[in-house]
Amino acid sequence: MAILPIRALPDPVLRQKAKRVRTIDNSVKKLIKDMTETMRADPGRVGLAAPQVGISLRVIVIGIPDEEDIVLINPEIVRRSGERSVTEGCLSVPGYYGEIKRAESVTAKGRDPTGKEIRIKGNGLLAQALEHEIDHLNGVIYIDHLENKEKLHKIEGETTQL
Ligand SMILES: [Zn+2]
């Protein structure tokens, strides 16, 4: 396993639409392990999408504090409900956080590392992480959702990063 370097804007890999995983082979399994280790390397990291480590594949990992890691391959959001304002930061936009709108509750489906189809329903931070990481697979960064530049702030102190 390895802790991978994290790509930051304006790296073009972050703006590409990531490819679907066709077979969960050993290279994909290794990628998942490395992504999980990279995410867990810092307690402020609660999610990571493969493009953030330079791999344009549809794989995300989410690690909500004190909960089991979630791995989703070829994830899709199947349901969103509600709306709320959140503050959000991204490992690929270091030093900033922004205020954007996210759903209150999100259901996503995808495959787990064994290839089984799973559904994850989440509220709060989990819903936010699902939307944030799946956005990454489509080349979308949270700053694209900012209503205006005044909603982007420099980080002072610690924040959660996705
Ligand atoms: Zn991010």
pLDDT of residue 158: 72
Tokens 């804007």 sit at which residue? 9
Query: Residue-wise pLDDT tens for the chain (162 aa)?
Result: 799 999 999 999 999 999 999 999 999 999 999 999 999 999 899 999 999 999 999 999 999 988 999 999 999 999 999 999 999 999 999 999 999 999 999 999 999 999 999 999 999 999 999 999 999 999 999 999 999 988 999 988 777 789
Near ion ligand 1, which residues have CB within 5 Å? 90, 162
**Measured between alpha carbons, how far is 21 from 74 in angstroms, rounded to an integer?**
6
**Which residue among the candidates 76, 88, 133, 158 is catalytic per the annotation?**
133
Residue 112 is predicted with a pLDDT of 98
DSSP designation for 67: S
CA distance 128 to 82: 12
